[in-house]
Structure 1
Amino acid sequence: MATTRRKDRAERRPLVSSDVLLERQPPVDLEAERCVLGSILLKPDVCDELAMFLRGDDFYDDANRKLFTHMLEMHDSGKKIDITLLVDKLKSSGDLDGIGGLPFLAKISQAVPNAAHAVYYGQIVREKATYRSLIDASTSILRDAYEENCDAREMLSRAEQRVFSILDGRGSGSVSNIRDVLHDAMDRIDARMRGEHATGGVESMFTDLDALTGGLHNSELLILAARPSMGKTAFAMNIAENVAVQGGHPVLFISLEMSAIELVDRMLCSVARVNGHRLRNGTISNEDRMRLIEKANIISQAPLFIDDSPSRTVTEIAAAARRIRRREGRMGMIVIDYLQLIEPDNSNDPRQEQVAKIARRLKGLAREMEVPLLCLAQLNRQAEDSKDHRPRLSHLRESGAIEQDADVVMFVYREEYYEKNKEPKPGTEEHLKWEATMNEVRGKAEVIIGKQRHGPT
């Protein structure tokens, strides 16, 4: 009786080399790239729309990539974009001949009859770039797997990082009107209760702070810095809510750390005086919920806009602000949480230089938009090592340029945070003194003015 030997799995399924895949034409639409550039020449203001999601590296063709980058730089610096000025810029940078000279620019200028579909073409360019990024990431994963140069768990971690870094780099979040986020926030609150998963500026409305600073002045860069858990995000959100709700001024809140719905949860808890921990675990009372609904109805009418993309450059933040100003007719304030999470234009620069450039450009944005720009920042660990833990200008993390470019530097300090860890033995005189101190500082935060260019500290 004849027997059939079962072939080894590798013999039955020959593997396809990744090099074979690399020989294929990558996803690209050169016509869409040219249409984007032609649209900008016809209507430079579309740069604000395009900069929200499109970057120079998204262009496959080297000439198209260079031209788009130059156009964005011109628009971001407030310069007019036309053929003559573009030629001058390309000549000064030495790129004119490299992109194909005047014939190339003439071809671009005739790519589209109008700029009506600029965003549509830009989305095509972005989509093709995302496909190429996925191919690059997948190819690296394939080669690592073939070479078996690390254990499987580490390789899986690397693969995950490569794929998800594409999404992080795309800035997938969007600018949302507060009323849209509030609806989702209330749905989440209800689900938790059911046990389910789910002129010259503006006033901050904090009386003592406004008395000391004269309010938040237009064209000023204000830095609000603190160590973690000091409440700087909550304080910034309170200011944004005051300016938008009570003042009626449009506010753009750029949240690079927290999602829009997390911010709204915090805001609702603050204004409705609801315990945040109880809200998160769904144990709030019906009375709490009624207060939340009442405050949500009020806040939903406010011109407060939240961009919760985890990745934004200063150029993209500026584009978002310009769009809201055009739509609303004015802008009251910009808040960014927080500075060290803003993506640098050049990741190869030393970190201190990156932060210095970001701070400088934020000051420029405040001047361009003629609004106060409140940017949160982290402090270094030296603040923890000091005897009294009180923050100082020297504690600003990563760059002294932050202090230099800022008009106002404020620090949030909570003595309760440090005092609660000093509890002496119960029943002693020291414990009675400690209890008295805790009763005095509990629930209080101190705002320290570390620098004020035009006022006292």
Structure 2
Amino acid sequence: MSENVKFSKVAPQSIEAEQSVLGSMILDRDMIAIVLETLEPRHFYAEKHGEIYKVVLELYEANEPVDMVTLVELLSKKGMLDKVGGPAYLSALVEGVPTPEHAPSYAKLVAQKAMLRDLIKTGNEIVRMSYDEEENADEIISEAEKLLYDMSQGRAFKDITPIKAELKKAFEIIDRKYQNRGEVSGLPTGFEDLNKLTGGFQKSDLIILAARPGMGKTSLALNFAEHIAVENKTGVGIFTLEMSATQLVTRILCARSEVDALALREGWLRDDDWHRLAMASEQLHNVPICIVDSPGLTPLELRAKARRMQKEFGVEFIIVDYLQLMSMPGKWSDSRVQQVSEMTRQLKMMARELNVPVMVLSQLSRAVETREKDIKKKRPQLSDLRESGSIEQDADLVMFLFREGYYLELTQTGAESVQFDESEAQKVDPLKTELILAKHRNGPTGKVFLTFRKEFTRFENASSREEY
């Protein structure tokens, strides 16, 4: 059999359904709003039907009557009347309608035929990419999944949008925020002061949570996940590249039950610990959290799994723990900075594609530790993002964790030497943690205070907030 199979079949279409849906809209104005939810001009196989549909929508959006007289007049003004078959063809559209009430069924059939044509086009593109021997097979599979996902979501070919189409959406969002002023517009984080600064985690945002090892970034990310899944009943997907899924779930159990993590790890549990663990397990049993435990994932593999997570489990918030443990294909092996830049670019694209907030945990560089030993110089800065590349550029929100008690403990144990004068050391609250918003593309920067219950791997609300 020849590798280059040629098909001579006519593309999927239903001219009769296209004619009937147009005739129904001319006969019954109420059908226009219904059909509008299903069809775009590109869905029509016959070019003239797409042009007639555009004119029908133009009249409808202008709140003008949609009938033979107005259609003929507007088509004439546009110099298109003869191209679509003239008044006689418009009359035939109306006369051929069995009943306008069937318009939704006609529209569905037209859309189905259009999707089949898109599927053929997508299949041809996948075949073309597969014949290109310079392409990477894994990348082709990921791109094929994206093409099919976009098509299934009705997003293919929708990248060009006139401003008038978006103005209505923008005003609807503004009005909704006005009607619900004071409420959190995004996903509530579980921390009141953070909600006030951010409005919650917003759709399509790339959120970077960075800290030195041991500062508690995984614990905080899991606290976010627990709150969003349990209290908001919103699906959460977690990609854990550092620890196993079992270790991750154990942390969530400790935080939820307030059982000492060290006692649990070493087996020194009291009777009431068992009761609290059982209660927490029952509360978490049907919570919409799903976990991918795959070290060394590439951005393309991660995006493919995230698409499936969203489709199968309704995931609306994604956590990646953590950035520097992701890997890149061989062609990116030369520069780690370039690799990280490509990773963050891909993760931002994923956030936009799935329209969900994506939180990515990141290590800070050791530049924090090489600065002056004064504790005041240890607060992280954007320049401290490890192998930063385009992390700062791609991120919508960058948050740093900082805790003076962390450095005091290192100094007291001799693991590190940080300068505390005696009065400062006495004032240090080992539980007090600063969550620093160093970059916020769509809002203010600042910092909020949290309380870190290290024994439970749990952060809690504190009462004050400061400008950063």
TM-score normalised by L of structure 2: 0.55
Aligned to 2:365: 380
- What SS does structure 1 have at the residue aligned with 2:432? coil
* Contact 1:423–1:431 (8 Å) recurs in 2: no
Separation of aligned partners in 1, 2:297 and 2:141: 19
Say yes or no: does 1:437 pair with 2:421. Answer: no
Among candidates 362, 371, 391, match of residue 356 of structure 2: 371
Among candidates 224, 248, 265, match of residue 233 of structure 2: 248
Aligned to 1:209: 194
Separation of aligned partners in 2, 1:409 and 1:435: 29
Residue identity in the other structure for 1:418: Y
Separation of aligned partners in 2, 1:249 and 1:233: 19
Say yes or no: does 1:288 pair with 2:276. Answer: no
Q: For residues 223 and 245 of structure 1, do their structure 2 counterparts lie closer, same or farther at Cα, with a shift above 3 Å needed?
A: same
Residue identity in the other structure for 1:400: G
Number of residue equivalences: 282
Among candidates 311, 315, 332, match of residue 316 of structure 2: 332
Residue identity in the other structure for 2:437: I
* Contact 1:423–1:434 (8 Å) recurs in 2: no
Separation of aligned partners in 2, 1:367 and 1:420: 41
* Contact 1:363–1:405 (8 Å) recurs in 2: yes
Separation of aligned partners in 2, 1:254 and 1:67: 23
Residue identity in the other structure for 1:337: D
- What SS does structure 2 have at the residue aligned with 1:261? helix
Among candidates 433, 438, 448, match of residue 450 of structure 1: 438
Aligned to 2:261: 276
* Contact 1:224–1:377 (8 Å) recurs in 2: yes
Separation of aligned partners in 1, 2:141 and 2:261: 46
- What SS does structure 2 have at the residue aligned with 1:257? coil
* Contact 1:201–1:372 (8 Å) recurs in 2: no
Separation of aligned partners in 2, 1:43 and 1:299: 42
1:243-298, Cα deviation, whole Å (9 max, x unpaired): 11111000000000010111111111112111111111100201011101101110
Aligned to 1:412: 401
Match runs of 1:291-302 below 5 Å = 291-302=276-287
Say yes or no: does 1:359 pair with 2:349. Answer: no
Separation of aligned partners in 2, 1:261 and 1:226: 23
Q: For residues 268 and 72 of structure 1, do their structure 2 counterparts lie closer, same or farther at Cα, with a shift above 3 Å needed?
A: closer
Residue identity in the other structure for 1:379: L
Among candidates 135, 138, 143, match of residue 73 of structure 1: 143
* Contact 2:142–2:301 (8 Å) recurs in 1: no
Aligned to 2:216: 231
1:194-243, Cα deviation, whole Å (9 max, x unpaired): xxxxx963111111111111100000000000010000000001101111
Deviation at 1:420, TM superposition (A): 2.7
Separation of aligned partners in 1, 2:225 and 2:410: 32
Deviation at 1:436, TM superposition (A): 3.2
- What SS does structure 1 have at the residue aligned with 2:435? strand
Consecutive unaligned residues in structure 1, runs of 5 or more:
1-40, 48-55, 86-198, 425-429
* Contact 1:396–1:402 (8 Å) recurs in 2: yes
Residue identity in the other structure for 2:439: K
Deviation at 1:331, TM superposition (A): 2.5
Deviation at 1:64, TM superposition (A): 11
- What SS does structure 2 have at the residue aligned with 1:332? strand
* Contact 1:272–1:291 (8 Å) recurs in 2: yes
Deviation at 1:79, TM superposition (A): 6.5
Separation of aligned partners in 1, 2:244 and 2:117: 36
Higher relative contact order (CA 8 A, sep 6+): 1
* Contact 1:339–1:377 (8 Å) recurs in 2: yes
Say yes or no: does 1:266 pair with 2:255. Answer: no
Match runs of 1:3-402 below 5 Å = 69-76=139-146, 201-328=186-313, 330-345=314-329, 346-387=331-372, 388-402=377-391
- What SS does structure 1 have at the residue aligned with 2:140? helix
Deviation at 1:338, TM superposition (A): 0.5
Separation of aligned partners in 2, 1:333 and 1:386: 35
Q: For residues 405 and 69 of structure 1, do their structure 2 counterparts lie closer, same or farther at Cα, with a shift above 3 Å needed?
A: closer
1:60-101, Cα deviation, whole Å (9 max, x unpaired): x996986774353354366669xxx9xxxxxxxxxxxxxxxx
- What SS does structure 2 have at the residue aligned with 1:253? strand
Deviation at 1:347, TM superposition (A): 3.8
* Contact 2:401–2:436 (8 Å) recurs in 1: yes
Aligned to 1:119: none
Identity of aligned residues (%): 40
Separation of aligned partners in 2, 1:64 and 1:352: 24
